[in-house]
Amino acid sequence: MAYRITADRLRGHWQPLVDLALGAATALLFVLSGTVVSAPLAVAQLLPLVWRRRFPAAVLIVVGCATAAHTTLGMARAVGFFPATIALYTAATHRSPVIRWVLCPAVGLVMAAASAVRHGPVEGLLMAVVTVTVAWLAGVERSEHLRQRAEADRQRAEAEHLRLERRIADQATAAAEDRERLARRVHDTLAHTVTVMLLQTEALKATTPLGDAARDRLDVVLRAGRDALTEVRAALADADEPDPATRLAALLKTLGAAGLRLAAHPPDLRDVLAPPVLAVADRLLGEAATNALRHDGPGTLLRISTEHGAERLILRITSEPPSPPRPRAGRVTGGFGLLSLAEDLTRYGGTLVHGPRAPAGWQIEASFPLRVGNAVAGR
């Protein structure tokens, strides 16, 4: 494990280590070979190599000019050209065509001219041209290799992206097939069952002598059944979901026709709750009203009140069964609807508590985070 950690650290810092070793070896060669004729020019040849990766063009100009000047003073060619070839190789790997194809040859020609003046056309010019050309072409080839590797990496990344998109598309297709199978099952069960209920209710209304009150109740049942069937078919067709407030108003109208009484109209919370939280509030009102009628029967009174704080809105809903209250078969607890709403409200930073109230009925208290900038002082 320790060996692996050390190897990873060296792999991440190999370039500075190589530069340090190369600089130290070059400086040692300069000292031991007696290459140095002018100490300032030797420093100008060696020291800029530290920054050759960050500023390759500037380093090449400084080192090349220092090498040409040092050559005219009698510097040995073999070791003396070594810093310049390093700078030339680094600059030739740069992505800029101007640096590769203009600056590098220009600096090489300056050094070759200085060597020709000092050592003649063969020993000076020819040797300098060969040395400079080899270093320059090696850098150009390295640059092309880096470009090809970058292109290969880009193509691999694109291929991986395409594979990811294909996998996502396959998953979406599988999910769509699952939804289609579920839709067929729902249509074959729920939609058919609701249709049979509607037909039987229509037959009962047409063949049985009923009073006005009974006919009104059958009309409520038929209207609720048709609305449910419409919503099922819309859901299966992937139609747009209706506005929660509109659906709540229609639901309360249907429940009112079935015998639920409202102490007052539901509060308008559009200005104080954000749209996602408002949708949860509308669903909660619909669930509470439905539960009140289902558990306490016609004649149940539903009271809805709100209390505003600095950051939260408290919504209280209570049901008061008719007197005498409708007998309950066993213990009644919060169903799946309230549990689901409690989870949704918790996701938005709210809370929901519910339970029976004395002597009869049900109570719900929900806390909603207020829309930013619309908090109302407590009242």
- Span 371-379, average pLDDT: 45
Q: Which of 10-14, 48-52, 221-225 has the lowest mean pLDDT?
A: 10-14
Asked whether residue 1 carries a pLDDT value surpassing 60, the answer given is no
- 378 falls in which pLDDT band (50, 70, 90)? very low
Asked whether residue 165 carries a pLDDT value surpassing 80, the answer given is no
CA distance 31 to 221: 105
Average pLDDT score, the chain: 80
Asked whether residue 60 carries a pLDDT value surpassing 60, the answer given is yes
Asked whether residue 241 carries a pLDDT value surpassing 60, the answer given is no
> What pLDDT is stored for residue 5 in this prediction?
47
CA distance 313 to 252: 22
Asked whether residue 66 carries a pLDDT value surpassing 80, the answer given is yes
Domain positions in the chain are 2-161, 259-379
Report pLDDT digits (tens) over 364-374: 999 999 865 44
Nearest-CA neighbor of 73 among 99, 127, 35?
35
> What pLDDT is stored for residue 12 in this prediction?
52
CA distance 185 to 43: 85
Q: How far from 5 is each of 9, 14, 74, 159, CA to CA, in Å? A: 6, 14, 49, 32
CA distance 258 to 200: 19
Q: How far from 373 is each of 89, 171, 348, CA to CA, in Å? A: 63, 41, 17
The proportion of the chain whose per-residue pLDDT surpasses 90, expressed as a percent, equals 13
Per the omega criterion (within 30 degrees of 0), is the bond before 321 cis? no
Per the omega criterion (within 30 degrees of 0), is the bond before 97 cis? no
CA distance 332 to 216: 29
| Strand stretches in the chain, DSSP E | 261-262, 301-308, 312-320, 351-356, 362-369
Report pLDDT digits (tens) over 68-96: 998 888 887 677 888 888 899 989 888 88
CA distance 353 to 363: 9
- 308 falls in which pLDDT band (50, 70, 90)? confident
> What pLDDT is stored for residue 302 in this prediction?
93
CATH fold label, 259-379: Heat Shock Protein 90 (3.30.565)
> What pLDDT is stored for residue 317 in this prediction?
95
DSSP state of 73: T
Task: Using a cut of 0.85, tell me whether the model's pTM lies above it.
Answer: no
- With a CB cutoff of 8 Å and minimum separation 6, the contacts of 40 are none
CA distance 284 to 354: 11
Largest CA distance in the chain: 129
Which one-letter amino acid corresponds to residue 236?
L
CA distance 352 to 367: 6
CA distance 285 to 230: 22
Tokens found for residue 202: 């229509």
